[in-house]
Amino acid sequence: MAEATGLHYQFHGPDDAPTLILSSGLGGAGAYWKPNLPALAQHYRVLTYDQRGTGRSDRALPDTTSIADMAGDVIALMDALGIERAHFIGHALGGMIGIETALASGRIDRLVVINGWRTLSPHTRRCFDTRLALLRHAGVEPFLRAQPLFLYPPGWIAAHDADLEAELAHHLAAFPGAETMEKRIAAVRAYAPSPEDLGRLSDVLVIAARDDFLVPHAASLDLAAPIPGARTASFDWGGHACNITDPDGFDRLALSFLES
């Protein structure tokens, strides 16, 4: 893994293939995409990266940060790596970064947004309030122990309980700090793109999971409404992190869209 502009990044797949950038959600780490890399890297030069403040990237954040700032990091990374154009897949917050990168740069060809939104649902606001209360009053470990509840379906959590427990120590060691997490949550809560800005996008696939506990299905699909010709797809099962719980189904869907 290498570093540029304060961001740690890694390429996967053939050097001569088109570039596909993957951007994760609130956790921010490029390792989130591990289940999807084998399929995606067969067809693309896949770029994963740790968002600023997370993982092995620069941990320093200003007093406030925004989705526009996070998109600026992507554009700076593209410039540093000589990437003129790319496709982009973003999960939740990462999808919002993709939207802002496309709007600010005009250099994103096809964009996939997984369980994102354009208007914060009252339900999602309550979820964030609950997570912040855990972080502030119970501490980092309870915050991280609760995280799977917002990401995965109950049956998947039960079947993968041992794996989730084994990963806890890693997540504790990699946690970016309460202050950084609060700034990132504030940024994603404040994001509200206008219909006019979304109307400037094209070649977008919006994916929504019907059993997403964090973001209501209708709120995710609503993102597509102002985007001309936006395609939509729904997962009946998979939760907020449906690309993790159903990687084969997600990979087929994403590759079909990117290659169509």
CB 66 within 8 A of CB 190: yes
Torsion sign, CA atoms 253, 77, 2, 163: negative
Cβ neighbours around 135 below 10 Å, total: 19
Helix, coil or strand: residue 91:
strand
Residue 9, Ramachandran bin (φ over 0: left; ψ between -120 and 50: alpha; else beta): beta
Query: What would the mean pLDDT of 153-168 be, rounded to a whole number?
Result: 98
Q: What is the mean pLDDT of the chain?
A: 98
What is the Cα Rg of the chain in Å?
17
Q: Whole-angstrom Cα distance, residue 4 to residue 159?
A: 38
Q: What is the reported pLDDT for 1?
A: 66
Torsion sign, CA atoms 30, 32, 34, 38: negative
Q: What is the reported pLDDT for 79?
A: 98
**pTM, to two decimals:** 0.98
Q: Whole-angstrom Cα distance, residue 215 to residue 52?
A: 24
Q: What is the reported pLDDT for 218?
A: 98
Q: Whole-angstrom Cα distance, residue 122 to residue 136?
A: 21
Question: 47 pairs with which residues across the strands?
Answer: 11, 21
* Residue 213 pLDDT class (50, 70, 90 cuts): very high
Query: What would the mean pLDDT of 175-188 be, rounded to a whole number?
Result: 98
Q: What is the reported pLDDT for 50?
A: 98
Query: What would the mean pLDDT of 175-182 be, rounded to a whole number?
Result: 97
Query: What would the mean pLDDT of 50-55 be, rounded to a whole number?
Result: 98
The H-or-E segment that residue 198 falls in is helix 195-198
Q: What is the reported pLDDT for 6?
A: 97
Q: What is the reported pLDDT for 83?
A: 98
CATH of range 2-259; options 3.40.50.1820, 3.40.50.620, 3.30.365.10, 3.90.1580.10: 3.40.50.1820
pLDDT tens digits, 92-120: 999 999 999 999 999 999 999 999 999 99
* Residue 176 pLDDT class (50, 70, 90 cuts): very high
